[in-house]
Amino acid sequence: MYSPPTPPLRPAAPPAPRPALPHSTTYSAESFDDQVAWFLDRYSGGFQAPLWEGDMRGVGAKSRLKRHRDAAVEQAQKLLSEDRLRFQLTLGNTEQIVTDLSTVLSKTTLVPIGQVKQLDRLDVQQRAALARALVEHLYPRESEGSFAGLIKALSPALSNLRGSWAFVTALRGLVFPKEHACVQPGKFALQARIMHRELPDAGKPSERDYHAYRALAREVERELRQRGLAPRDLLDVLDFMRTTLSPRARATLAGAAGRRRMRLGGDLNARGVA
């Protein structure tokens, strides 16, 4: 329909304001599907992609790197096996247990090397207490208390227990990677925000809070499997979070979220939503 031009002496009406996007409790600056899309763009075969298996798991590597998970798991399951640890306890060789613990953690990217070196602060009695606590933590004979016992044994060495989540959880995460999660609170917090889940504040590690972190890792694993991906274990899940929530990846995710927001705004405008 023809509309006559606005008379020249009459000011033009101001443009209608752009409708505000409706508030949604399910909207995030990034989405889990954005993470998966970024992951598959880089690793087109998913967790079985040769690039992923080579970079992260160390498959076919000529020499081991700290980020290679398969070698780390193999070493942890050998040096920290129940038979070996209990045999060392029987011999009273607690020093060897602490040495093996240091060896396992120092050869991964899971724990800051500075924290591992802090074990040198422990005297003979403290190292013996740590060895016993480690065995009970990995292979508990009682259902409760092993987590708190390990924290207590580590407290003389670690200057910042609030920052010791990676140290404490990497032990079970390497020995039992299909059942236990290595917790890195910063990445887990970002993942929880994207998935609209609540996590406890990353204070001093505790068994109760650990269960909340592990539940999130399990949920990420389920979401990946529902999308046809097959993480080998919870180390793959952790590295999925680490790679897709890196600064470089998050810049890409933020761009995807911005485009999605613009499309949503355009759709609302087209429908005349105010």
Tokens of 184: 């890195």
Tokens of 45: 């075969």
The mean pLDDT of 206-223, rounded to a whole number, is 96
Closest to 241 in 3D by CA, of 211, 212, 200, 213: 213
Query: Using CA atoms, how far apart are residues 261 and 37, in angstroms rounded to an integer?
Result: 17
Ranges 20-24, 118-122, 132-136, 187-191: which has the least confidence = 20-24
Highest mean pLDDT among 23-37, 155-169, 179-193: 179-193
Ranges 8-17, 44-53, 154-163, 221-230: which has the least confidence = 8-17
Closest to 29 in 3D by CA, of 255, 220, 237: 255
Phi, psi of 166 (to 5 degrees): -65, -45
Query: In the chain, where are the structural domains located?
Result: 32-41+65-262
pLDDT of residue 8: 44
Query: Using CA atoms, how far apart are residues 69 and 84, in angstroms rounded to an integer?
Result: 21
Tokens of 179: 């059942």
pTM equals: 0.81
pLDDT band at 249 (very low <50, low <70, confident <90, very high): confident
pLDDT tens digits for range 38-97 = 999 999 999 999 999 999 999 999 999 999 999 999 999 999 999 999 999 999 999 999
Query: Using CA atoms, how far apart are residues 248 and 23, in angstroms rounded to an integer?
Result: 28
Query: Using CA atoms, how far apart are residues 134 and 120, in angstroms rounded to an integer?
Result: 16
Q: Is 2 left (phi over 0), alpha (psi -120 to 50) or beta?
A: beta
* 5 or 210, which is more confident: 210
pLDDT of residue 142: 75
pLDDT of residue 248: 85
pLDDT tens digits for range 86-129 = 999 999 999 999 999 999 999 999 999 999 999 999 999 999 99
* 155 or 259, which is more confident: 155
pLDDT of residue 259: 63
List, in order, residues 6 or more apart from 2 with CB less than 8 Å away.
none
In this predicted structure, the answer to whether residue 20 has a pLDDT above a threshold of 60 is: no
Query: Are the C-beta atoms of residues 150 and 139 closer than 8 Å to each other?
Result: no
- Looking only at Cα atoms, what is the longest distance across the chain? 101
In this predicted structure, the answer to whether residue 9 has a pLDDT above a threshold of 50 is: no
Please work out, in degrees rounded to the nearest 5, the angle formed at the alpha carbon of residue 143 by the alpha carbons of 141 and 146: 75
Burial class, 126, CB count within 10 angstroms (exposed 0-12 / middle 13-18 / buried 19+): middle
The mean pLDDT of 161-167, rounded to a whole number, is 89
pLDDT band at 258 (very low <50, low <70, confident <90, very high): low
